Chain A
Amino acid sequence: MDEKKVKKSMSSMNRREFVRKSAITAGGVIAASNFPNFIGSAEAAKRDYILIGRPNPATGPIAGFGEGTPWADDIAVNEINKDGGIFIKKLGKKLPIKIKTVDTQSNPTKAAEVASQLILKDKVDLMLFYHTPDTVNPISSICERFQVPAISLDSPLEPWLEGGPYKWAFHAFWSVEKDIVPVYTGIWDQIETNKKVGVLMANDPDGVVWSDVFKKAGAAKGYEVFDKGRFPYGLQDFSPYINDWKEKNVEIIVANLIPPDFITAWKQCKRLGFNPKVVTVGKAVLFPSVCEAIGGDLAHGLSCEVWWSPHHPFKSSLSGATAQEFCDRYTAETGKIWAQPLGFKYAGFELAYDALTRAASLDKEAIREAIAQTDIDTIVGKIKFNDQNYSRTPLVGGQWNKSDGKFPWEIKITYNDHYPDIPKTGDMFSM
Chain B
Amino acid sequence: MIREPFKYRWFVLGAVFLILATLPTWGSDYMLLMGLLFCLYAALSQMWNLLTGYSGLLSLGQQAFIGFGGYTMAVMTSYYNVNIWLSILAGGVTSVLLALFMSLFIFRMSGIFFAIGTWIFAECLLLWFSNWEYVKYGTGLFVKPPNPPSMTMIYYAALTMGVTALAAVYFILRSKIGLGLMAMRDNDAVSSSMGVEVFRSKLFCFLVAAFITGTTAGVLYVFQIFIQPYKAFAIDWTVNLVFIVIIGGIGTIEGPIVGSFIFVLLSQYLSEYGHISLLLLGIIAILIILVAPKGIMGTLQEKTGFELLSPRRLFSEEPR
Contact = CB atoms under 8 A, between A and B. Distances in A.
B138 A203 contact: yes
A102 B269 CA distance: 10
Given A19-B290, A23-B291, A145-B148, A203 B130 contact: yes
The bracket for how many chain A residues form the interface is 35 or more
Interface string A402-425: 000000000000000000000000
B21 interface: no
Contact of B137 (A26, A117, A162, A205): A205
Interface in A202-230: 203-205, 207-209, 230
A208 B223 CA distance: 26
A102 B271 CA distance: 6
A39 interface: yes
A58 B231 contact: no
A101 interface: yes
Contact of A142 (B30, B37, B225, B290): B225
Interface in B266-320: 267-269, 271-275, 277-278, 284, 287, 290-291
B268 A108 contact: no
A205 B140 contact: yes
B273 A107 contact: no
A239 interface: no
Interface string B146-157: 001001000000
Contacts of A331: none
B30 to A, nearest CB: 4
A162 B223 CA distance: 18
Interface in A16-62: 19-20, 23-24, 26-27, 34, 37-39, 41, 56, 58-59
Contacts of B140: 108, 133, 137, 159, 205
Nearest to A69: B274
B291 A103 contact: no
B107 interface: no
Contacts of B139: 133, 159, 162, 205, 208-209
B193 interface: no
A20 B142 contact: no
Contact of A41 (B28, B130, B137, B151): B28
A207 B137 CA distance: 10
Contacts of A121: 30, 33, 268
A37 B228 contact: no
B271 A117 contact: yes
A196 interface: no
A109 B231 contact: yes
B222 to A, nearest CB: 10
Return the 6 tightest CB-CB contacts between A and B, nearest first.
A141-B225, A120-B30, A121-B30, A208-B137, A205-B139, A138-B226
17 contacts: A19-B290, A19-B291, A23-B291, A26-B287, A27-B284, A103-B277, A105-B277, A107-B236, A117-B268, A120-B33, A121-B30, A121-B268, A145-B148, A204-B130, A204-B138, A205-B228, A232-B127
